[in-house]
Structure 1
């Protein structure tokens, strides 16, 4: 086991020193018009990638497309789409492949949050269903739409933007946690299927960040772990993709600590630490992004 861990460290160091190029690659980002999606798009464009941005907000898509084109002169293609509509995803995927080219890097980034306790009498059942549909189920449709071609070419990368809430259950985020746990599990299953069937050129990266200052979690308070800056998160994600890193937790406490603590500490002690850290009340003043 020690030898395997040492080999992994060597492999990671080599990957950092020889980041794969993305120039000429087609990168599709869902939720690409704002937040982390927008920031990742800017960075991939600077590296010479062709962008395909999907979002529900056509005005925001037009704005970010103009912004990136002016900044980098890069090739940007935008599509307004509801990714929870399976047939529309499949139809649009065919259009993308026909008009732009085969997708090399698929970034499942689009996400929503309700931010209300499941014990609250005003809990919105329909919004909970939509959260699962956007944050988890839609990943199935985009994977089904684009990954078969990656497998045929033995070349591709699926990036899952999950959350630290996909590793640790959080008060006020029941349906969001369920959706992100699902996204993490889907990514893990896909990664293992790639390996089982010998698709060595097809890679996955799952990203589990803490709260980010994009506005999506406006109002949250954390006294233990600082709110993450979206620029730092976007830089970290793009680097992780280029290094073929399978898992990225942000900050490092999430990366190294969450699964280890869950594995070794009894549940009552975990719950006590959770309460002591103030994590149980981070969502108490949640406002969220204005619609």
Structure 2
């Protein structure tokens, strides 16, 4: 079965801006039959839907706060009742609410981050995977947008990093479970980028040899990996080097290296949007 989205039913969370909008544009451009856009802003959803309108494409919009379990469940049930199943699920939405040290962060904000970044993708997958597994007529794909922060520890983003580390571990284990159970038409891809210039991390300091990723480039990498059914994509390549070095070096030696490259100071100028 050729990995393609032509004629597919595609759901994208966080679809009103940044990478989410670009994922939606990519799906529309490549011939998706149904595009389901989730976000919190009704007007923004309508604007994106109007911009993507074209013959042969049906666009459905759902205003959903991923921190509201009841709303998430209701929206998922409505999509399933409408479409029967989705062929591509893009868990893109994410938040970061603080650049302070952990003990300075409001516990309610920490819980919010975990619910949106980790628990919501899990809950969405729980809703949609049974139908995806049952419908083997065409390939199914799940893309979970994690972060390099889940791989390389970085001060002033402990809760965000924890939420993405948990997402990464769950996502890759889910991939293995599907393979072990024989559901090979459903593939899970985890995307772990460094800072992406969408505004979410506005004000962060550059890290030596690790440029801020353009959202178009990040989405292109993730999308190609999604279609190919690749397990895990890390970008840019220097994050691979950091991952290997952290595994090989004693903790204190790695700390000194990360500090020298500017990793540990990168969040000090953070002024980006909170969600």
Deviations 1:52-77 (A, max 9, x none): 1111111211111111116x873211
Task: Describe how 1:72-221 pairs up with structure 2 within 5 A.
Answer: 74-119=57-102, 121=104, 123-154=105-136, 155-221=139-205
The residue aligned with 1:28 is 11
Q: Secondary structure at the match of 2:124?
A: helix
The residue aligned with 2:27 is 44
Find the aligned partners of 1:74 and 1:215 in 2 and give their Cα distance. 29
Structure 1 position 245, deviation (Å): 1.1
The residue aligned with 2:221 is 236
Q: Structure 1 residues 229 and 73 mapped into 2: Cα distance closer, same or farther (>3 Å)?
A: farther
Q: Secondary structure at the match of 1:169?
A: coil
Find the aligned partners of 2:7 and 2:242 in 1 and give their Cα distance. 37
Q: Secondary structure at the match of 2:80?
A: helix
Find the aligned partners of 1:54 and 1:276 in 2 and give their Cα distance. 40
Relative to the length of structure 2, the TM-score reads 0.93
Please tell me whether residue 59 in structure 1 is matched to residue 59 in structure 2: no
Deviations 1:129-156 (A, max 9, x none): 1000000011121011100111222442
Find the aligned partners of 1:95 and 1:137 in 2 and give their Cα distance. 20
Instruction: Please tell me whether the aligned partners of residues 141 and 227 of structure 2 are also in contact (alpha carbons under 8 angstroms).
Output: no
Structure 1 position 115, deviation (Å): 3.0
Instruction: Please tell me whether the aligned partners of residues 89 and 145 of structure 1 are also in contact (alpha carbons under 8 angstroms).
Output: no
The residue aligned with 1:279 is 263
The residue aligned with 1:4 is none
**Larger deviation, residues 206-215 vs 153-162:** 153-162
Instruction: Please tell me whether the aligned partners of residues 201 and 271 of structure 2 are also in contact (alpha carbons under 8 angstroms).
Output: yes
Structure 1 position 233, deviation (Å): 0.9
Task: Describe how 1:254-273 pairs up with structure 2 within 5 A.
Answer: 254=239, 256-273=240-257
Please tell me whether residue 246 in structure 1 is matched to residue 231 in structure 2: yes
Deviations 1:11-60 (A, max 9, x none): xxxxxxx9722101111111111110000110111001121111111121
Relative to the length of structure 1, the TM-score reads 0.88
RMSD across aligned positions (CA)? 1.8
Instruction: Please tell me whether the aligned partners of residues 110 and 135 of structure 1 are also in contact (alpha carbons under 8 angstroms).
Output: yes
Q: Structure 1 residues 23 and 177 mapped into 2: Cα distance closer, same or farther (>3 Å)?
A: same
Instruction: Please tell me whether the aligned partners of residues 96 and 274 of structure 2 are also in contact (alpha carbons under 8 angstroms).
Output: no
Instruction: Please tell me whether the aligned partners of residues 212 and 227 of structure 1 are also in contact (alpha carbons under 8 angstroms).
Output: yes
Instruction: Please tell me whether the aligned partners of residues 172 and 231 of structure 2 are also in contact (alpha carbons under 8 angstroms).
Output: no
Structure 1 stretches of 5 or more lacking a match?
1-17
Q: Secondary structure at the match of 2:53?
A: helix
